[in-house]
Amino acid sequence: VMVAEALDISRETYFAILMDRACNGPVMVGSPQGGVDIEEVAVTSPELIFKEEIDIFEGIKDRQALQMAKNLGFQGPLQQQAADQIKKLYNLFLKIDATQVEVNPFGETPEGQVVCFDAKINFDDNAEFRQKEIFAMDDKSENEPIENEAAKYDLKYIGLDGNIACFVNGAGLAMATCDIISLNGGKPANFLDLGGGVKEAQVYQAFKLLTADPKVEAILVNIFGGIVNCAIIANGITKACQELELKVPLVVRLEG
């Protein structure tokens, strides 16, 4: 149960800090129209969306924060208040290894306060080792059981709707493999990234997870042996084939 002070809102705006691959770093996004779906505003009134890149070495400069506050429609002393809040939100963004901090509405009260009335935060999964307290609050019961099981063996698994299971090392190659399957008329059953330091036991467990999915009608193994030793993969596959009694076609590509 969370108990919070009830506040009246006299005006609503939208503000977010997020990682933008196109800009190779974090950006600020704001709009004087808050409390609504920002994607809708971007379509109907794109001139009301303001975007500003953030220098990762210098952070948000004072002039940038003030300009964004002005773009959001804050006036008088509220403009400096909003700018201060914007800089604090960026400090939070860095401190908690967020990929997105979205405040909607980012508004003002009749008494002249700038307040973050509601917020949504996305965290970088790769920063779990630094943010153990935050990730300990994650409710695993909301995940698919197979995803929780994969996490036990340090396997990055995301279930999809198709029937061709993917067994790949590296997120980039895994996404490319899913794309290639789709481009050729197939449908991937999952995204599975083994990572670089994979062991035979993980290979075996990965096969166990894939074969437990009733939708799977074939398994595609696509491994590029850079960091990964292909012999480890081959031994793990051999063990899985012997012990799990595979009943679906298996296609293996080991390169390197």
Write down the pLDDT at residue 53.
97
**What Å distances lie between residue 25 and 20, 41, 55, 214, CA to CA?**
6, 23, 8, 40
β partners of residue 254: 223
Q: What is the number of helices (H) and of strands (E) in the chain?
A: 8, 11
Q: Identify the structural domains of the chain with CATH numbers, from first to last.
A: 11-133 (3.30.470.20), 143-255 (3.40.50.261)
Tens digits of residue pLDDT in 137-167: 887 777 677 777 777 877 888 888 899 999 8
Write down the pLDDT at residue 171.
84
pTM: 0.71
Distance (Å, rounded) from C-alpha 184 to C-alpha 119?
41
Distance (Å, rounded) from C-alpha 169 to C-alpha 193?
5
N residues, the chain: 256
Tokens of 247: 């009943």
Mean pLDDT of the chain: 91
Can you list the residues of the chain whose pLDDT is less than 50? none
Give the closest residue to 29 by CA, choosing from 14, 43, 46, 45. 14
Active-site residue set:
14, 102
Phi (first) and psi of residue 80, to 5 degrees = -70, -40
- 69 touches 86 (CB < 8 A): yes
Q: What percent of the chain has pLDDT over 70?
A: 98
Write down the pLDDT at residue 35.
80
End-to-end Cα distance, the chain: 54
Write down the pLDDT at residue 196.
67
- 215 touches 193 (CB < 8 A): no
Distance (Å, rounded) from C-alpha 19 to C-alpha 26?
4
